[in-house]
Amino acid sequence: MEPEVGPLDGLDLTTQQIEALAYLINSPSYMDVFEPMMIGLERSMIESLINPTQARKWDKSDDYLRGGILVLRALRNFPRAAVGDARDRQFAEDQKRTDEQKYVDRADSGGIGPLGFNYDPAEDF
Distance (Å, whole) CA 103 – CA 98: 9
Q: What is the pLDDT of residues 53-90, one digit of tens each?
A: 888 888 888 899 999 999 999 988 888 888 888 888 88
Cβ atoms of residues 74 and 4 within 8 Å: no
Is residue 65 exposed (0-12), middle (13-18) or buried (19+ Cβ within 10 Å)? buried
pLDDT category at 119 given cuts 50, 70, 90 is: low
The domain spans of the chain are: 15-101
